[in-house]
């Protein structure tokens, strides 16, 4: 009797692999991970980006068979922090698996320690990430160019870059998310700050930073004054994070301008990858994807 039960158990296990019960919550597809090296005209040097793309599959043992949503794909531009590179998100989180749930392409560029700026003493990384990167990515891959299909997110320095892109070009991005973002540099430009020499190389005269095109507070004011569409905005930060005070200041600044945004704080959480691995899942579920692209769609930011 015991032998028969074991045989039946093994048979049920094999049948479960061959004939899985479809999980109808998510689209049926796999993902491709591509390391793409190309020459940047904006930077005048060779650069690297990593790209996650939905891939139709029929026989993958660990995924349900089916067909992916048709391209062009909705796209998340996912930005790294200070000291990281384009591999950080794939090395430190399960971003590929999270993107799979929403049939979402993810583009992760290298910008080194540029703070997503056209550096005064350095390269034109803002031109690269805001103009060249989307154009080249769409030339190489079948990505959507519609505003409602384009999103940006990042951590720390990348959170700053994500909001800088969304506030500077609200006509291009439907939503932006910052994780532990460096959102209020005006409060951190102090003579005792060990990064000031580096910031000077990036931004130039730091006394001219407030009110400049690199100042998120100023960009928010400009957005509030105009009649351009407002992207959906969300930012996360732990209360033990050194960026927490500037996230509070930025939240209050947006509220004072009447710009809708969401802020989620987490008690005791710090500036670390365990926190970002959790919160990027919330970001991806929050994104206002259209129903036909892996929704249900969230109308925020339309």
Report if residue 119 sits inside a domain.
Answer: yes
End-to-end alpha carbon distance in the chain:
63
pLDDT reported for residue 35: 98
Report if residue 13 sits inside a domain.
Answer: yes
- How far apart are the C-alpha atoms of 123 and 223, rounded to whole Å? 27
Range of the domain at 223: 2-293
Report if residue 127 sits inside a domain.
Answer: yes
Report if residue 44 sits inside a domain.
Answer: yes
Burial 184-206 (b: 16+ CB within 10 A, else e): bbbeebeeeeebeeebebbbbeb
Q: What is the mean pLDDT of the chain?
A: 87
Average pLDDT over residues 98-113: 95
Report if residue 130 sits inside a domain.
Answer: yes
Residue 98 C-beta-side C-alpha neighbours within 13 Å: 21
CA nearest neighbour of 235 among 173, 163, 161, 148: 163
pLDDT digits (tens, 9 = 90+) for 189-198: 665 577 788 8
Report if residue 300 sits inside a domain.
Answer: no
Q: Domain with 103 in it: what CATH number?
A: 3.40.50.1820
Please say whether the beta carbons of 86 and 50 come within 8 A.
Answer: yes
pLDDT digits (tens, 9 = 90+) for 123-173: 999 999 999 999 999 999 999 999 999 999 999 999 999 999 999 999 999
Residue with the bigger pLDDT between 291 and 256: it is 256
pLDDT reported for residue 18: 46
pTM of this structure: 0.86
Q: What's the structural domain count of the chain?
A: 1
CA nearest neighbour of 180 among 204, 199, 206, 157: 157
pLDDT reported for residue 17: 45
pLDDT digits (tens, 9 = 90+) for 18-65: 444 544 444 445 899 999 999 999 999 999 999 999 987 766 555 544
Report if residue 301 sits inside a domain.
Answer: no
Report if residue 70 sits inside a domain.
Answer: yes
pLDDT reported for residue 7: 57
């Amino acid at each position: 009797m015991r032998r028969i039960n074991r045989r039946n158990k093994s048979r049920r296990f094999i049948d479960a692999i061959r004939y899985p019960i479809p999980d109808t919550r998510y689209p049926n597809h796999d993902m491709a991970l591509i390391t793409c090296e190309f020459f940047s005209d904006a930077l005048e040097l060779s650069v690297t980006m990593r790209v996650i793309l939905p891939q139709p599959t029929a026989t993958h043992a660990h995924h349900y068979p089916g067909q992916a949503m048709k391209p062009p794909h909705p796209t998340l531009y996912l930005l790294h922090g200070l000291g990281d590179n384009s591999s950080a998100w794939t090395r430190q989180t399960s971003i590929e698996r999270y993107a799979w749930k929403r049939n979402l392409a993810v583009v992760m560029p290298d910008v080194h320690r540029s703070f997503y700026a056209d550096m005064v003493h350095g390269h034109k990384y803002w031109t690269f990430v805001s103009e060249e990167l989307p154009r080249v990515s769409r030339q190489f891959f079948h990505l959507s160019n519609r505003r409602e299909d384009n999103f940006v997110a990042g951590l720390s320095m990348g959170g700053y870059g994500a909001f800088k892109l969304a506030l500077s070009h609200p006509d291009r991005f439907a939503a932006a998310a910052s994780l532990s973002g460096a959102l209020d540099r005006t409060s951190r430009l102090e003579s005792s700050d060990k990064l000031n020499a580096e910031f000077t190389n990036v931004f130039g005269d730091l006394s001219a930073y407030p009110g400049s095109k690199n100042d998120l507070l100023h960009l928010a004011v400009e957005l509030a004054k105009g009649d351009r569409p407002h992207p959906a905005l969300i930012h996360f930060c732990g209360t033990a994070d050194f960026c927490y005070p500037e996230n509070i200041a930025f939240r209050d600044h947006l509220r004072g301008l009447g710009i809708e945004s969401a802020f989620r704080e987490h008690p005791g959480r710090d500036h670390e990858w365990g926190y970002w691995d959790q919160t990027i899942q919330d970001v991806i579920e929050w994104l206002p994807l259209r129903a036909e692209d892996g929704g249900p769609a969230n109308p925020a930011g339309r």
